[in-house]
């Protein structure tokens, strides 16, 4: 049911600036900045051989990550994303086990153009978990 680690997200004030060192120092491919208004963020990815680092910056003052970035001015790990073969079936199993899905519970299209859902960190040892349809 659980697939590979898709990415680790780091919330920052400036996603392009934060990603730059991964390209310069490590030779990682850096994506263009992509605004995702439906998620309230701008994303930039650093592509590594075995996973990706997603840098997310708030898109406006009402962004769901604005307070996180305010509390963590230098940035910080925001969430981990795992691939799953069937996002709806996985959601239903997790809910049946007591996990709380964030938002309205319906998958939304994420930065990779695939359906995603987020689950409450209190249900995953303090880690905000995103699942993405593989």
Q: Give the model confidence (pLDDT) of 31-41 as tens digits.
A: 999 999 999 99
Catalytic, out of 29, 83, 130, 132: 130
pLDDT score recorded for residue 1 = 73
- Domain housing 13: 4-133
> CATH number of the domain that 90 lies in?
3.10.180.10
Output the DSSP codes for 56-76: EEESSTT-TTHHHHHHSTT-E
pLDDT of residue 2: 87
Concatenated DSSP letters for 79-131? Answer: EEEEEES-HHHHHHHHHHTT--B-TTSS-EE-TTSSEEEEE-GGGTTT--EEE
61 catalytic per annotation: no
Question: In the chain, which stretches have pLDDT less than 70?
Answer: none
Using left for φ > 0, alpha for ψ between -120 and 50, and beta otherwise, residue 66 falls in: alpha
């Amino acid at each position: 049911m659980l697939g590979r680690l898709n990415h680790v997200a780091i919330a920052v004030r400036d996603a392009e600036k934060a990603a730059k060192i991964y390209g310069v120092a490590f030779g990682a491919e850096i994506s263009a900045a992509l605004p995702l208004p439906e998620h309230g963020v701008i994303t930039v990815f650093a592509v590594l051989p075995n996973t990706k680092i997603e840098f997310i910056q708030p898109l406006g003052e009402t962004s769901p990550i604005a307070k996180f970035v305010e509390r963590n001015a230098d940035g910080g790990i925001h969430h981990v994303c795992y691939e799953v073969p069937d996002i709806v079936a996985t959601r239903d199993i997790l809910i049946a086990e007591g996990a709380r899905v964030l938002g309205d519970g319906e998958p939304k299209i994420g930065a990779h153009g695939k359906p995603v859902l987020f689950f409450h960190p209190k249900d995953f040892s303090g880690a905000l978990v995103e699942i993405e349809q593989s």
